[in-house]
Amino acid sequence: MTDTTPPLPEKARAAEGPWATAWRRLKRDRAALAALAVLLVILAACLAAPLYATYVSGTNPFATNLNGTITVDGKSRDVLEASTEGLGLGLTPIGPTWQLGPYMLGADNQGRDVAARLLYGGRNSLFIAGAAAVLCLVVATFVGVVAGFFGGLVDTVLSRILDVLWAFPIFLLAISLSIVLISQPLLIGPFEIRSGSLALPIVIIGVVYIPYVARPIRNHVITLMKSEFVTAAVGLGASPWRILWVDILPNVVTRIIVFVPLMLALNMIIESALSFLSIGVQPPDASWGTIIQDGQGLLYSRPAVALAPGIAIAVTVLALNIFGDGVRDALDPKSTVRIG
């Protein structure tokens, strides 16, 4: 029984290619389209961050603004307000004004505009998630296909390396790397990774999920190798490279595409966790995870600082997951790719 052959076109449109079928299915999926629209809106908003910072918030979201004042409802207020009650301990950053303008979502403990940082942070979060997904999928596909195609010792060695990677605590890797890089930048071929550059979280997140993607690809390739059409091709005397290019890879590609939105979603979450542990984006730059970290210290007096980026992550990841579902249903309805 071969339940892994590419999705067969529906009978009514026998002439249609698999990609066209997928696209047609996706277009019918209203939830997926709505999710896509939400994603595009979020992306556009994040890309417009400099405009927001210049024309709406009017403050530099990367510099401390400890002595600043703003005018709310005709009254001048300090951005960091000193407590006047009792012993007068503590300073509280200004809360959300809920008006389009400076400090719409309030300030963080350094007097910076949270709304502007949220938009800039979204850029970094999305960029890191995207770049890490690309890195991960490329490497994982290579490893998975090589392991599955050649089998034997190659497969055993690669699989065990994947095991090590999968069971290895990523936070140890991340913390060590971030310290190692302060002293000397790491050179990987033409790429240079410096501390504080976005490359660090990208590499860490990209590497961590390689086993997660490579394993199903490997299993898929192994099943394909045993399938009737490959056996048939071997019987017809096709060269291994031909089998790889013609029979294996095209089948693997649909799987990989199914992974893309799900990897993005996963990466968003892990990026926030890394930044929460301050291994990801370095100050004064922002990502949604670092804003949650900043807001953690203000959770009781100014919960908006931590809530806003958390909601942003949840909405983005939700949209990615819904869209990912749509893509999967459209491309590969029987796949059991797992999210989360």
- To other proteins, the closest distance from the beta carbon of 23 in angstroms equals 22
- To other proteins, the closest distance from the beta carbon of 45 in angstroms equals 18
When the beta carbons of 206 and 211 are compared against other proteins, the nearer one is: 211
Per-residue DSSP letters for 212-256? HHHHHHHHHHHHHHHSHHHHHHHHTT--HHHIIIIIIHHHHHHHH
- To other proteins, the closest distance from the beta carbon of 15 in angstroms equals 26
- Return the structure tokens found at 287: 């990502």
When the beta carbons of 55 and 300 are compared against other proteins, the nearer one is: 300
- Return the structure tokens found at 21: 């079928």
Cα separation, 289 vs 297, whole angstroms? 13
When the beta carbons of 11 and 338 are compared against other proteins, the nearer one is: 338
For helices 152-167 and 210-226, give the axis angle rounded to 10 degrees.
150
When the beta carbons of 57 and 272 are compared against other proteins, the nearer one is: 272
Q: 170: helix, coil or strand?
A: helix
When the beta carbons of 232 and 299 are compared against other proteins, the nearer one is: 299
Residue length, the chain? 340
Q: What are phi and psi for residue 26, nearest 5 degrees? A: -65, -40
- To other proteins, the closest distance from the beta carbon of 314 in angstroms equals 5
User: Is 286 in contact with 121 (CB distance < 8 Å)?
Assistant: yes
Q: Contacts by 287-290 with C-beta closer than 8 Å and gap 24+? A: 287/121, 287/124, 287/125, 287/128, 288/118, 288/121, 288/122, 288/125, 288/312, 288/313, 289/125, 289/313, 290/121
- To other proteins, the closest distance from the beta carbon of 138 in angstroms equals 23
When the beta carbons of 30 and 75 are compared against other proteins, the nearer one is: 30
- To other proteins, the closest distance from the beta carbon of 21 in angstroms equals 19
